[in-house]
Structure 1
């Protein structure tokens, strides 16, 4: 097992990893920008190193400074959390060159899954169902028209190197296609420095289903069930739950088995999430995230397994702690992402939290790195906490969630708490009857 882990992140995920390390008896080092000097994870870590000024490029994305912090403190491993450098293959390679363990997959696996076209090819080779579309990047408009006609409109153009909705355009007819291609290429080039795009069939009312997987790097793989992340705004997840209200036990076992076998065949090491669009009983691969997800706590709630412990164990060479037959699913869990944003316009709301009170009781978990008096800096992601609720079934979970949201108090800034209080009382949400477009339509109708 590792002696000392450096946590290359901030906010709630840095605190989440720090807690796991403390439970395992591992010394912790955190890095921070000058803006985060008073952050909770900095206060609680065994050691901390300031790595630069507030802008991420000068601190949390500064590989040289993070490696130097490892060498100064004697850290033998780095946990990247999510975001920042968590899916940076160069970072993983540099750490390996310095004999520091990256708690995650190899640089090669990060590269494969970071390129959307190569990821789709790899998924297809591994037996994972994919969305009908181009086999690779589409460079000619004539070729694009042929492919779109073959798979049928509407189609969606996506950036090969991107995500988060950037470089993504829908063409509902051939007349729309040329403009959609030009716009997607322009956005992709500006956002990712790579204007390569590909084409896929655009599904009308799909759900977003993702499967949590783990590999030991030596040919073993398991899955920890699925999460439903269909409630999204601008392709950003807002509410996640496990298991999905849309799947039955047979579908759940089937897609989980497909993903576990694929991870084993790939020789993948550590945590990963294979994401799908699901419509009319069919799963279609869209991407794989080679890191821990923001929404991992709902999986922990229904399995009772600490996924960060598992990450550390696998990275240290200890292998997987469970076999597939050991993994059991209990009840239902929902996570709400609490952001420092206006609940209607989603405009960021940095500032000082004057009062912070979290709910409690059976089945309630809050992952947050803020506190009363904490000043939210304007430089980073607006997530300030996650409310995770678990119940014996979805009905109990929703009842418990409603109560927990009523108890949650954050004063001094605007947050998305009012949005969740509205959603928990909505009939469609109560019935689990929603798709990836539902939330944006709901918000538009409320304007």
Structure 2
């Protein structure tokens, strides 16, 4: 009896071991490791496709501080692009801007009310992008919109247009309203701008894709404002990760060329970074890190994770033919079917070695196909009959925008024209079908006799 028990125990133990081996070696969807980020919220996004690679408390509403200026810079670049202002447009300094610009406790280039020559949009834009100059940002806001209050309305309107969900802008700089000492344009004295890290990344995604020239300025480690004049200011970029930054404190990171820092006493220390390596550009957002240096160290963790674990792969080639559905029946057409296939290759930034976890997924267009899956003639070559996308076996964090998610698919289209058959052909088909049904019934009846 003891031997029997020992045998049973041995068999069960072996079964458990084998099960453990199978479980541990079975192919699973990629799961992000715990990065142990020392920040309140964070997100990592592929800048080209908008694919989200990592997130932590991404929808938590937090003050962005001077990362706000990404929205101001977007509107400045848009105004120049639309011809509303030019880079050489002169900018006058108002009393309120002058007061803020003289506050040495804030990041500023010192602005005169009687500057000669006038400041230009270009040099104030550079001061905002490189040195996070608050007075310079406010001065451009007043020039573009007539007042900073109007500019703040433009910021909120643009946020809605870009699809941001969790945000509220009350000034153009990201300062706490109380730091503006009565010069705040909107909201109460204790108000401040608020946004989630997801929407911060979404803003950066739009900025980089709509106005990539932002990086030509954001990557400058140091520049002299009004060089050679009595108003010369040395602007050292607050982005310590930029190679060549004289105050980088050993934090330089290969491939980084933007984007915007932010810090106030209430917001803590935040940073929206972007870097490119081997054709892959990433956007990282770290919000409310422990200190000025930590925001860059946590950014390094995020970017290292992205570059070390992900790569762009072509999963499905262009002209993909759907298994078992290479053609679709066509009713009332000269031809009874038409070949269909996808138009574009499907590529995606995916975890390394996870290609086999992505499978083609077909969604048919019920607006053109009837409930039997048939098309009705006439059919034009290129008519979309469905959409080909990719389905992932693991945890999918989705895309930073809805439009970006739609780009990760390919139309399935008809490969030829199918003209509508004339009345005679349709009549003969009908007659043939009628007699064919009769013949089938006769055959079935005869079969029944035997």
TM interval, shorter chain, is under 0.3
TM-score under structure 2 normalisation? 0.24
TM-score normalised per structure 1: 0.25
Task: Mark the structure with the bigger radius of gyration.
Answer: 2
Of structures 1 and 2, the one scoring higher in RCO (CA 8 A, sep 6+) is 2
